A = this chain, B = another copy of it.
Amino acid sequence: MNIAITELRTKLINLLSKNFSEDDAAKITDYLVWAEMSGNKTQGIVKLTGTEPLQNIIPEHEIRVERETKLSQLINAGANPAPLVTQIATQIAIEKAKEHGFAIVGVHNIHTSNGAQAYYAEQIARNDLIGIVTTRSAAAVAVFGGIDPIFGTNPIGFSFPTHDDPIVFDTATSALTWYGLVVAKTRGESIPENVAIDTNGQPTTDPVEAMNGALLPFDRTYKGAGFGMVSELLAGPLVKATYGQVEGEWGSLLIAIDPNLLVDTNEFKDGSTDLLRKIKASRKADDVAGIRIPGESSANKRRQAEMSGFVEVDDAVYSQLWSD
């Protein structure tokens, strides 16, 4: 169904205010509306449904800063929801990098997933900074040559300012997301071939066997596993989160770099904007309609939603949340 964005915001803030301060509820709402507007339905208001609805999370304690320097902050999230904590962490990274040229902010003990990591990366780039964002989740992915789950699905995102929308490249380092397994299981569907193995290391297209076994690295080689390992280290031991196992604390790392450390920011943006132009101007392969820049499609959807004032939300999710 189509709903006015202002109405969706009000409904979400009402729902979230039962457990969270108005300010925190507004922050979580910002994230959820962004995900819906981006067309990223798996990371939007669906998070308010299911067995662990986001609005019912009872944090262990307030967010605590455990270490701080001019350039850095380590945050114990107190099991607050990731879309709240990671927004706060992003804001700190932006402020520190704007003042000192660089910032690194680590978060551990977050309650499950950041959702659409591109959200935080985009905010960094909208502030004329280069962003690197990664999250370590519960072990679900095999190492190259192995059959046990060791790494999380570990998304890595990079963002760059341009004269137009930021460039945001964000990808899971697994061949399928965990959510992809959940959806297939719920629907009783198979998963694609060559994305997962069962607990004996044999190829499987059964989502439950894959959950008990392991997903494969995104390219099925040591390269994809290498990027997964990088995320496991940056968002694991570097931020006091768990690593290499299923149970334990999730972690996130945010890095913000001012291009001005090396070149004038405007000159960098000239270059990034011009590189996009070169990419778009490439001759296309026969079977391709047009060349897309990472993040372009969701940015277009957000622009359309903003212009119309309306956003499409899933009927079933909406009626679960607001049926009365």
Residues of A within 8 A of B (CB): 67, 69, 71-72, 74, 100-102, 104, 106, 130, 142-148, 150, 158, 160, 167, 169, 171, 201, 218-219, 221-224, 226-227, 229-230, 232-234, 236-240, 243-245, 255, 257, 259, 261-263, 267-268, 270-272, 274-275, 278-279, 282-286, 288, 290-292, 294
Contact = CB atoms under 8 A, between A and B. Distances in A.
B67 A169 contact: no
Given A160-B233, A263-B238, A148 B282 contact: yes
Given A237-B263, A270-B237, A279 B245 contact: no
Nearest to A170: B226
A288 B225 CA distance: 15
Nearest to A219: B219
29 contacts: A72-B101, A102-B102, A102-B104, A106-B262, A106-B263, A143-B291, A145-B285, A145-B288, A146-B282, A147-B283, A158-B230, A167-B233, A171-B226, A218-B219, A219-B221, A219-B224, A229-B275, A236-B275, A237-B270, A237-B275, A238-B262, A238-B263, A239-B263, A240-B263, A243-B274, A244-B274, A244-B278, A245-B278, A255-B257
B226 A294 contact: yes
A245 B282 CA distance: 11
A180 to B, nearest CB: 15
A160 B236 CA distance: 13
A35 B290 CA distance: 42
B237 A267 contact: yes
Contacts of A142: 282
Contacts of A100: 71
Contacts of A233: 130, 160, 167, 271-272, 275
A268 B239 CA distance: 9
A209 to B, nearest CB: 16
* Most chain B C-beta atoms within 10 Å of own C-beta, residue among A100, A230, A239: A230
Contact of A145 (B106, B234, B267, B284): B284
Given A219-B219, A237-B274, 13 more contacts: A143-B282, A147-B283, A147-B285, A150-B282, A167-B229, A169-B226, A222-B292, A222-B294, A238-B271, A240-B267, A243-B271, A243-B274, A245-B278
Contacts of A106: 262-263
A257 to B, nearest CB: 6
Nearest to A269: B237
A239 B261 CA distance: 10
Given A69-B101, A201-B283, A263-B239, A292 B145 contact: yes
B263 A67 contact: yes
Given A74-B262, A145-B292, A238-B259, A171 B285 contact: no
